[in-house]
Amino acid sequence: MKKLAYTLALAIASNLTCAIAADKVAATTEKAAATVEKTVDKAAAPAKKAVEKVVAPADKAVDKAAAPADKAATTEAKSGVRKPTGNVGKFWDALNWDDLSADEKKLWGVLGWNGRLWGAETGAPASESAVWDKLSKEEQEAATALGYDKKSWNKEE
């Protein structure tokens, strides 16, 4: 029994020593990894600055060159009101809310539409089922700006 107790005590002491050693190895490894990371960052800093000196002016030049085209495309696509040809209702039905310009969204907003309702199968605003004469003057003006008249509006019922 003494021998068993001695063996057990020796095993516990051995495991404890191993655990302490493993913790020291882990701490040393973490410290070494941090040192290596700092060294790499320090060594790479001059190269990173050199690349930034070359890339930054090139990026600015590309942005400057693209700015007029971007502005024109944004202005063209996102302002003004298109004039529908053919069936006015089909023209507008073929578009997604995001395809509409800011001006078109404002006009449709006067008629009660918004992005949530535009593509939905249910929940149309009251103007959708109203005949032309029941629309307010403001709604009639918005509908007219979108290409509708009394005849085309009433056909949409």
Q: For the chain, what are the domain ranges?
A: 1-78, 88-155
pLDDT in tens, 109-133: 999 999 999 988 888 999 999 999 9
Q: Which pLDDT value is given to residue 119? A: 84
**CB-CB neighbours of 126 under 10 Å:** 11
- The answer to whether the pTM exceeds 0.75 is no
Tokens representing residue 146 in the block = 């979108």
* Nearest-angstrom CA–CA distance, 105 and 112: 10
* Contact status, residue 80 vs residue 101, Cβ threshold 8 Å: yes
Q: How far apart are CA 13 and CA 117, in angstroms?
A: 73
pLDDT digits (tens, 9 = 90+) for 67-77: 554 444 444 44
Q: How many helices and strands (H and E) does the chain possess? A: 6, 0
Q: Which has more confidence, 133 or 28?
A: 133
Question: Which residue type, as a one-letter code, is found at position 100?
Answer: L
From 72, 113, 69, select the one nearest 95 (Cα to Cα). 113
Average of pLDDT values for 124-147? Answer: 95
Q: How far apart are CA 58 and CA 89, in angstroms?
A: 47
Q: Are 157 and 131 in contact (CB under 8 A)?
A: yes
